[in-house]
Amino acid sequence: MSIWARISEALSALASGEGLTAVFDRLRTAPESSVAFTIAVIALGAKMAKADGQVTRDEVTAFREVFRIGDDDAQGAARVFNLARTDVAGFDDYARRIKGMFDDESPILGDLLEGLFHIAMADGIYHPNENAFLEEVAQIFAVPEGQFETLRARFVPNSSPLPHMVLGVPRDATKEEARAAWRKLVRANHPDALIARGLPEEAVKMAEKRMIDINRAWETISGKSI
């Protein structure tokens, strides 16, 4: 059963008058945590898409870039988007419920924040309200400030991230230290590793840009192609 079929099944179980947040309370543990993650990206993305006052076609299309959504599954994804957009619950309520689904050290919260940055920049504009939204979500998720700044530097135009920042090493790190950090990040972002930590297979594509940035950072530090 595809993740979208499982999402549709979860939505069909909603009682009359229940909101999308009720789904989160039923999907706290594996293997359904991947369903929760997918719904979370769409739900928070829908809330954020309204942060700048309008929901553009580009922002809706961005979901297809974060996830592999086939034509047969588009209706289910759209239903989640619309339920979240009209739900009376605020985005901070969604974020806190999502945070409660994962351990404090779970990297999946950083993955989710990265997906939100991708959606925020889908229309090419980084609105101040989107920045405030993402900062608050990052605080709720307890994402380290340095990780948030790295994501913002990678995604926001006219922000060229320092290669050491991308690799997570100090600026005075040796080439050997940078190489070790690069190799560790490559292993951590292998598709099998992403799926093992709870990222749904349909969202593995989200890591492609991350790997491009990681490899480019190492190229810059090493001074040669990898």
pLDDT at residue 4 is higher than 80: no
Q: Report the share of the chain in percent with pLDDT over 70.
A: 74
Reply yes or no on whether the pLDDT at 156 is more than 70. yes
pLDDT at 176: 92
What's the pLDDT tens digit per position in 66-125?
A: 666 667 777 777 777 777 777 766 788 878 888 887 777 778 888 888 888 887 887 778
Can you tell me the distance from the alpha carbon of 220 to that of 197, in angstroms, rounded to the nearest whole number?
29
Q: How confident is the model at residue 40 (pLDDT cuts 50, 70, 90)?
A: confident
User: Tell me, what's the pLDDT at 65?
Assistant: 64
Residue type (1 letter), 26: R
pLDDT over 90 (residue 140): yes
Q: How far apart are CA 84 and CA 154, in angstroms?
A: 27
If you average pLDDT over each of 71-75, 147-151, 197-201, which comes out highest?
A: 147-151
Question: If you write DSSP's letter for every residue of the chain in order, what string do you get?
Answer: --HHHHHHHHHHTPPTT--THHHHTT--STTTHHHHHHHHHHHHHHHHHTTTS---HHHHHHHHHHS---GGGHHHHHHHHHHHHH-SS-HHHHHHHHHTTS-TT-THHHHHHHHHHHHHTTTS---HHHHHHHHHHHHHHT--HHHHHHHHHHHSTT----HHHHHT--TT--HHHHHHHHHHHHHHTSHHHHHHTT--GGGGGGHHHHHHHHHHHHHHHHTS--
Residue carrying structure tokens 């009209």: 86
- Provide mean pLDDT across the span 47-57: 68
- pLDDT, residue 24, reads 67
pLDDT for residue 158: 65
* Cα(155)–Cα(139) distance, integer angstroms: 19
**Selection from 42-51, 109-118, 149-158, 190-199 with the highest mean pLDDT:** 109-118
Mean of pLDDT over the chain: 77
**Alpha carbon distance 47, 27 (integer Å):** 20
Rounded to a whole number, what is the distance in angstroms from the first to the last CA of the chain? 39
Cα Dmax for the chain = 60
pLDDT interval class at 1 (50, 70, 90): low
Residue-level pLDDT at 225? 43
**What confidence category does residue 226 fall into, taking pLDDT thresholds of 50, 70 and 90?**
very low
Contact 77, 69 (CB under 8 A): yes
Q: Does position 178 have pLDDT exceeding 80, yes or no?
A: yes
Residue that wins the pLDDT comparison between 203 and 150? 150
**Over pLDDT 90: what percentage of the chain?**
10
What pLDDT, on the 0 to 100 scale, is given for residue 168? 83
Region of 197 (left: φ > 0; alpha: ψ -120 to 50; beta: rest) is: alpha
The CB density around residue 69, as the number of other CB atoms within 10 Å, is: 20
Q: Answer whether residue 183 shows pLDDT above 60.
A: yes
